[in-house]
Chains A and B, each alone.
Chain A
């Protein structure tokens, strides 16, 4: 029953070996196995977006991916952005715009926004709202999050908002 196996996960540029069962969700492997508790679990059915991470640069739900499936991919979690003493550009925008309150949805928001930002195309407010519609926030009413991301995109895409 306990068919455990050792896998290697590449997380934030580092290779980690850990022992998992095939059924272990990537979110749990990151949190329990590697102690990377910045990736939060909010629903385990792919709706809330709190567990969003980047897999090879693309946003995905880590509650809907088995840890064993993540082998061979580059995983980026919120811990791979700036740390608390060195917030990255996007994290700073979130802080400046008060784009977080309780902070629980924030790592997922940041990862979704990181993917958007990396596309380096200008987006309307409507585009950003649609792109974020898979990340639920219960505190902010979203305005400040949209403002932070809009400004980050405007300043990096070379185009106006």
Chain B
């Protein structure tokens, strides 16, 4: 079976999005928009200690406040449900018990301690203020190094240390590579903590159906299926008793893909009170309790031979997981991904990485767009630039020389990842061509000669997308999400409906999946109804994360769509009394060109379902107009890119302006160029935030300073440049449809490209950028120190 649509009409076209009319008119339905009758509202009292024992909780005053229906603490919950553990097959990994409300001990500022239920949110917050808790403070640990060497006051005393993960990757002989190297470049890099900041704060509305005694959780989640399965487990419910629905979700970026305490709490309370219960996190809560990202320190060295070829890389990675190992991704996710992707798209014969992950008294960390790869790319690309400088080779040429060459695919990296054929060098060349690299270098030299601090930064990377069943989205994670299904049907009215296990958090999946189904069947995308984001719509629902949805669901859509088309033709052939090969389908009409006879889908639907007498018995037994297909790409596929950025730094205020940004990406076959462009631009904007301004800051006692959008800075339109996204399809991807995932790439390349551009702008001072974000304060200090050393 081949899955190339012969003449794709919609795949590849700039089809306007199906979701836009509702979202543009304020008719979307986000979880906070759901207003069930007599819904109750929850306010959560959170720990304001980073580490403390809970001595006592007095809820009496709160219970007596106006409008209060119920107030529960961790002990009340513990007697009714069991904790969840994010397990992993990874040797030596230590999971942590995940209770929805803290019991005995709090481990980060922002940890939920008490839930107040009242008739409105204002009253719930009034009652929250009346709760009295006595804590006994414990020493807090917020520094990963100190956590590693701590001898007492462990976060999870049952483990006897704060170390949650310890792993080593090794390939080739790194000792030899380093000892025989012509040059070794090295550095210690710090990738500070960030947080996703979807503009929609997390929100959960548990709607209680009195008639059926069932729950529907309207959740701002990327993974309704994973959440449904976890809630069924925790609350001991069977599948039909709980449905998780994610109709419209206001951005996720990884921050809405883990199970959250509040999801359990509202469901538990709705069941207990037999009322609908709603919790909407406010921005402050979102900034302190949504899973955070990065927070790693990496020591890395790169060995090179006399011609400037990489011989090997050695790294030690210390990851700060925060207080808990989150469900289902575990604390290992980010740091292990750094180790996995640190060799990048280059030929690296020898590799060794040591990974340690510790618990600290900070918000749990979890996936964030790019997962580990933004950090890996930043470290690797800084080393590449440093090496290029040592050898006096142009950074673009240096990359060209060391990238995996077209004849080397499939290429197995030092960490064991296999790159299938992707346009590593082609992206490099395309980016250079679009930005006119040669002229740009002349301009840079002229600008620098005139005293401007102007720099060019390049970053190349590769990522694995559309992971199949042979690759886990997180190391050793027991949940395997390597398959996705599509159920496509034509109903009795002739309408095409396609149902998926994915969810949409803004990527326009309703449109791209409709484009695929439309081409396969022969209708217009606007005539295809896409159902997803609903655990009850399909046997196994999953969600959208890890740049998987288009590859997996798109592949399944091709298969199911093709099958339905064949069934449709069979029915039409019989009704029109002709050979199937004589028939064409276009825009929902089956036509026999020779006779100009036509049958609409509506006609065929009516015949198949309501006028079955028109078909012979044998055909009646088997004829339906639906198909369910699964797709498993097994390993996944490689997406590659090169980004080039230019920056200008004000030598007096140390403000960095990104002037130009070009991203050239091989994301396989493009379904909708406009959507792909938007994904890249959005990802790059987030990466620019990481490079220049975004940082979660704690004091040594674990108090979090960045609890408002005044202090946690995300880029606005004024700080983001115009981003030129260009695509190429160097080699056909091995996936059905030829798609490669591309939702995360922009965020992977941008921190490195901007960091390299800043270092280039400061090259006259020989400043290494080892820590992001490169804030004016940090640059001021670096430049002041460099000037002092010069003097």
Contact = CB atoms under 8 A, between A and B. Distances in A.
User: Is there a direct interface between A and B, measured as CB atoms under 8 Å apart in the complex?
Assistant: yes
Interface of A: 1-2, 21, 23-24, 28, 31-32, 35-45, 47-48, 50, 77-79, 81-85, 87, 91, 94-96, 98, 100-107, 110, 125, 128-130, 132-146
Contacts of A42: 199-201, 283
B104 interface: no
B35 interface: yes
Contacts of A140: 678, 681-682, 685
A136 B23 contact: no
Nearest to B689: A138
B44 to A, nearest CB: 15
A95 B20 contact: yes
A94 B251 contact: no
Given A83-B27, A125-B722, A138-B685, 7 more contacts: A38-B27, A98-B677, A102-B250, A103-B19, A140-B681, A141-B683, A141-B684
Nearest to B674: A98
Given A102-B198, A134-B716, A138-B251, A144 B678 contact: yes
B139 interface: no
Interface stretch (B329-337, B501-509, B780-788): B501-509
B26 A146 contact: no
B709 A101 contact: no
Contact of B283 (A44, A85, A138): A44
A101 B199 contact: no
Nearest to A132: B717
Interface of B: 16-17, 19-30, 32-33, 35, 66, 120-122, 196-201, 248-251, 253, 280, 282-283, 505-508, 674-675, 677-686, 708-710, 714, 716-718, 720, 722-723, 746
A95 B122 contact: no
B24 A95 contact: yes
A104 B283 CA distance: 14
A50 B199 contact: yes
A47 to B, nearest CB: 4
Contact of A48 (B199, B248, B718): B199
A138 B23 contact: no
Contact of B506 (A21, A101, A125, A130): A101
A106 B23 contact: yes
5 shortest interchain CB distances as A-B pairs: A38-B26, A104-B250, A102-B506, A103-B23, A141-B681
Given A136-B714, A142-B685, A106 B24 contact: yes
9 contacts: A43-B708, A45-B283, A102-B198, A102-B506, A103-B19, A104-B251, A136-B709, A136-B714, A141-B720
A104 B717 contact: no
A103 B682 contact: no
Contacts of A83: 25, 27
A52 to B, nearest CB: 12
A106 to B, nearest CB: 6
Contact of A95 (B21, B280, B720): B21
B717 A48 contact: no
B754 to A, nearest CB: 14
A102 B27 contact: no
Contacts of A78: 24-26
A91 to B, nearest CB: 4
Contacts of A28: 121
A43 B286 CA distance: 9
Nearest to A85: B21
Contacts of A98: 16-17, 508, 674-675, 677-678
Most buried by B among A2, A40, A84, A104: A104
A40 B250 contact: yes
Contacts of B709: 43, 45, 47-48, 136
A101 B504 CA distance: 10
A161 B515 CA distance: 33
Contacts of A79: 25-26
Contacts of A137: 199, 717
A143 B722 contact: yes
Contacts of A40: 30, 199-200, 250
Contact of B17 (A31, A95, A143): A95
Contact of A138 (B25, B198, B746): B198
A138 B199 contact: yes
Nearest to B201: A42
Contact of A43 (B248, B253, B283, B716): B283
Contact of B24 (A31, A45, A84): A84
Contacts of A125: 722
Contacts of A133: 716-718
Contact of B708 (A1, A45, A142): A45
A75 B505 CA distance: 30
B125 to A, nearest CB: 10
Contacts of B17: 95, 98
Nearest to B280: A41
Given A102-B249, A133-B717, A142-B720, A37 B678 contact: no
A137 to B, nearest CB: 7
B256 to A, nearest CB: 11
Contacts of B680: 141
A32 B41 CA distance: 12
A85 B22 CA distance: 9
B680 to A, nearest CB: 8
B26 A138 contact: no
